[in-house]
Amino acid sequence: MDRSDLQAYLSNGVRNIVKNAVRSTLSDPAGTAFIMKFSASSAKASAKREKLEEEGTHVPPFLIASITSSCNLHCKGCYSRQNHATSDCAPKNQLSGDEWKRIFSEAEELGISFVLLAGGEPLMRRDVIGAAAEFPGIIFPIFTNGVFVSEDYFDLFAKHRNLVPVLSIEGDRDATDSRRGEGIYDRQMRNMERLKKSGVLFGASVTVTKENLDMVMSGEFIRSLSDMGCRLVIFVEYVPADRTTADLAPDDADREFMEQRTSAISGEFPDMILLSFPGDEKSSGGCLAAGRGFFHINSHGDAEPCPFSPYSDTNIRDTTLRKALDSGLFRRLHDSGVLFSEHTGGCVLFQHEEFVKSAVK
């Protein structure tokens, strides 16, 4: 897939997300009004990306921002803790709220439409969430374990519809609590009830493994989320935090099953948005990391190919977002063809970790 075809593929994907979001908010006038305004912003953003493409700069529509390295939970198999990117205490030298605000401003100028806020636990950075609220032309899905969803946050989400809480669950109560800790499932259900009552568009993030694949792709599970008011489900394929858990990662057959089930569920629940991460690599011509479809900035400002591939040769404190997209590491990953190579489950950069390490140098 050449660059122009890739840009068209990504832009079409954004249009489909927006179209489905309009359908998902029809019963909520405030939500519908916001999505219609965002639709116009998204079209302008797409035009910016196309213009930059003509100038030789490929800008993806998605940015993943890990805005903190702090987390209050110890989830089993957490890639972030395994990579020592997350800790219990407040890490030193994290990007400030003003630095993140500058990044969001540059993202808007480049035509980036979605900035996924992750961590650690992103709700521990109220200053950064507040800064994100100031950019209504960007949608900020906020991936949270739900523990810090407070009355203040409920009010903020209701006022700023570009902030979309995405609550992490792993299926039913047993599956969720066994990975994230006792009581987390019930807390997330209470959060969903409150968000539904407030009329706020929210989603669920589900880490998919071979163990919970059938459960989370079932109509019964999706119906339970729909009944709670959830209008967005993001299926995140499990990437092994270490080689001992590699057998939990979905393989090609599992991904094909996920694609078939997602299509079927979309027909059964037309008012829901269903997304997969990292997504169908065959349709996109390879892995979308390293700026092809998205890239990652960690809490210290390092520009990385992907949260699952925590290697960098560029820090955003020393350069612009546009120049970070053209980092030596990203270019080497593109030129080497590793993003387009075959792999067996997990992700291609995880499987070729040694090559990524060498490419940093």
Helices (H), ranges, 55-183:
79-82, 97-110, 126-132, 151-159, 173-180
Within a domain: 198 = no
169 - beta bridge partners?
206
Percentage of the chain modeled with pLDDT above 90: 65
DSSP state of 70: B
**Tally of domains within the chain:** 1
Residue 224 host element (H or E): helix 219-227
Instruction: With respect to residue 275, please indicate whether it lies within any of the assigned structural domains.
Output: no
What is the full DSSP assignment across 332-353? HHHHHTGGGS--SSS-HHHHTH
pLDDT of residue 301: 97
Question: Where does the pLDDT of residue 345 fall: very low under 50, low under 70, confident under 90, or very high at 90 and above?
Answer: low
- Tell me how far apart the alpha carbons of residues 27 and 30 are, in angstroms, rounded to a whole number: 9
Q: Chain-wide mean pLDDT for the chain?
A: 90
pLDDT of residue 9: 72
* Cα–Cα distance measured from residue 10 to residue 60, given in angstroms and rounded to the nearest whole number: 8
Cα atoms in the 13 Å half-sphere on the side-chain side of 234: 19
Amino acid identity of residue 356, one-letter, is V
Roughly how many angstroms between the first and final C-alpha of the chain, as a whole number?
Answer: 28
With respect to residue 14, please indicate whether it lies within any of the assigned structural domains: yes
Residue 200 lies in a domain: no
Output the pLDDT for position 151: 95
pTM reported for the whole predicted model: 0.93
pLDDT digits (tens, 9 = 90+) for 214-253: 999 999 999 999 999 999 999 998 887 666 777 888 888 8
User: Is pLDDT larger for residue 5 or for residue 301?
Assistant: 301
Look at residue 253 and tell me if it is in a domain.
no
CA distance 312 to 288: 17
Mean pLDDT, residues 300-317: 95
Indicate which CATH number applies to the domain containing 324: 3.20.20
Q: List phi, psi (to 5°) of 321.
A: -65, -40
Whether residue 170 has pLDDT greater than 70: yes
Q: Is residue 242 assigned to a domain?
A: no
Res. 348: pLDDT tops 70: yes
The Cα 357–Cα 329 span in angstroms is 9
> Which residue range forms the structural domain that includes residue 43?
3-193+282-360
Amino acid at 350: F
> Per-residue pLDDT for 285 more than 80?
no
pLDDT of the residue at 344: 61
On the question of pLDDT at 346 being above 70, the answer is no
Q: Is residue 149 part of a domain?
A: yes
228 falls within a domain: no
Question: pLDDT digit string (tens) for 67-88?
Answer: 999 988 888 877 777 777 777 7
Closest CA to 213 of 147, 271, 259, 182: 259
Bond before 293 cis per omega within 30 degrees: no
* DSSP bridge partners of 66: 118
- CB-based contact 324:316 (threshold 8 Å): yes
